[in-house]
Amino acid sequence: MQIVHIVFMGDSITAGKYVAAPARWTDIISDRLERTYIDTPVNFFTVARGVSGDTTRQGLERFPQDMQALAPDILTLQFGLNDCNCWVTDRGLPRVSEAAYRANLVEMIDRARRFKTRHIILSTNHPTLRHKVLASGDSLEQRRERYNAIVRDVAAAKGVTLCDMDLAFAGLDLPQHLLAYPDLIHLSVRGHLFYADQIYGHIVRAVQDLANLGPAGLAGGGGPRPPSLLAGLPQQTELVASGGGSTVKGLQCGRSLRWHMDNVGACHSARFES
């Protein structure tokens, strides 16, 4: 048996703000992985660590708890829409400068690699409908494009996988994929589905690479690798875990486990309920 640990790290786009859990792109990915690998010994432990309003600076502050403590095999990174934003109270300065944004992404990648994360998927940010001029003198869209260029540069320099959401969303009917006014930035249900479609292939390729490595290549370890990928269907089991002041649930189906952990806090105990 092999367990592939995946952490989705980001801001409200990863958190799926304003959209119910089953329709969020992180849940869609988890469900697809379960269905795809249900007849194999490859199992999944996925955790969504998106926090609304977070910049890369705040993401780094919670990196030890949300990423390093889990030491995933696969990490997705999505930050930037808050970093590039300019608040009136900051007199036109971005929440995180371009230089700091670049440095923060590099540090996240370096930290993930120190904790043996083998596959890192770094995403640009999708287009928005925010064209209002900010206190900086330019729009969020103009700033987003500059920060996306940094993402591309970092992905190339650090040798990580780039998922170019900016390019993927180009030419789409954005009002159908984004929430309506006054939001104009967060993904709609259709937007989450499209987002999942773009990143899923990168994750599957990473899973296939990890599966070919055998247990020694997985951060979570595992037993001896069976000669065949075919396996019987196990019984579905609900797992309830508590700790850190919160209780979360996951579904074990096809020996894969998905955690819904909206609150920050490590799980200290768990019990299976049939």
Segments in the chain forming alpha helices (H): 12-15, 25-36, 56-61, 63, 98-114, 140-158, 165-169, 174-177, 189-213
Backbone phi, then psi, for 203, in 5-degree steps? -70, -40
Return the closest-CA partner of residue 260 out of 49, 58, 73, 67: 49
**Other Cβ atoms within 10 Å of 141 Cβ, number:** 15
Cα torsion 168, 45, 118, 75: sign: positive
- Claim to verify: residue 125 and residue 9 sit in the same structural domain: yes
- Claim to verify: residue 114 and residue 144 sit in the same structural domain: yes
- Claim to verify: residue 116 and residue 65 sit in the same structural domain: yes
236, pLDDT greater than 80: no
220, pLDDT greater than 50: no
With DSSP H G I counted as helix, E B as strand and the rest as coil, what are the percentages for the chain, rounded to 5?
40, 25, 40
Mean pLDDT to the nearest integer, 132-161? 97
pTM exceeds 0.85 for this model? no
CATH number, position 30: 3.40.50.1110
Which whole-number Å values give the CA distances from 78 to 75, 162, 243, in the listed order? Answer: 10, 11, 26
Which whole-number Å values give the CA distances from 107 to 32, 46, 143, 200, in the listed order? Answer: 30, 22, 22, 25
Specify the pLDDT at position 1: 82
Number of domains in the chain: 2
Specify the pLDDT at position 219: 55
Mean pLDDT to the nearest integer, 106-121? 98
Cα torsion 178, 179, 184, 186: sign: negative
Q: Which residues constitute the domain of residue 69?
A: 2-217
Average pLDDT of the chain is 83
- Claim to verify: residue 208 and residue 250 sit in the same structural domain: no
DSSP character at residue 179: P
In DSSP terms, which residues pair with 238 in a beta bridge? 251, 273
Identify whether 226 is part of a domain. no
- Claim to verify: residue 210 and residue 253 sit in the same structural domain: no
253, pLDDT greater than 50: no
C-alpha span between 187 and 174 (Å, rounded): 9
Identify whether 229 is part of a domain. no
Name, in order, each residue with C-beta under 8 angstroms of 97's C-beta and a sequence gap of 6 or more: none
- Claim to verify: residue 54 and residue 178 sit in the same structural domain: yes
Which region among 105-119, 215-229, 235-249 has the lowest average model confidence (pLDDT)?
Answer: 235-249
223, pLDDT greater than 50: no
Q: Is 45 helix (H, G, I), strand (E, B) or coil?
A: strand
- Claim to verify: residue 74 and residue 174 sit in the same structural domain: yes
C-alpha span between 224 and 246 (Å, rounded): 34
